[in-house]
Amino acid sequence: MKKELSKKQAEKQVEEFFSDLKDKTSKEVKKIKTFAMSYNIKLGEKRKLFCKKCFSPYIEPSIKIKKEMITLTCDSCEHKNRWKVK
């Protein structure tokens, strides 16, 4: 039976996960993302720490900055993620 957590406890668990992302796998990232969605927790800036296609964490992505866009290319799947510079 699944243990019910409060939203604060779930947020704390998500924060702890993203504090050390270097040794995490894509399956763990996908699992914590669905966990956060189930508790309606917004990831915000944390979503930029992993690829949105294969969920592998960025360790050393290739970064390009052009005008007002940052482009990160994933190491494993070569997918390009782009964000506006604020």
Prediction pTM value: 0.84
In SS3 terms, the chain reads as CCCCCCHHHHHHHHHHHHHCCCCCCHHHHHHHHHHHHHCCCCCHHHHHHECCCCCCECCCCEEEEECCEEEEECCCCCCEEEEECC
Tell me the per-residue pLDDT of 62-86, one tens digit each, with 9 for 90 and over: 999 999 999 999 999 999 999 998 8
Residue pointed to by tokens 């947020």? 11
Report residue 1's pLDDT band, with 50, 70 and 90 as the boundaries: very low
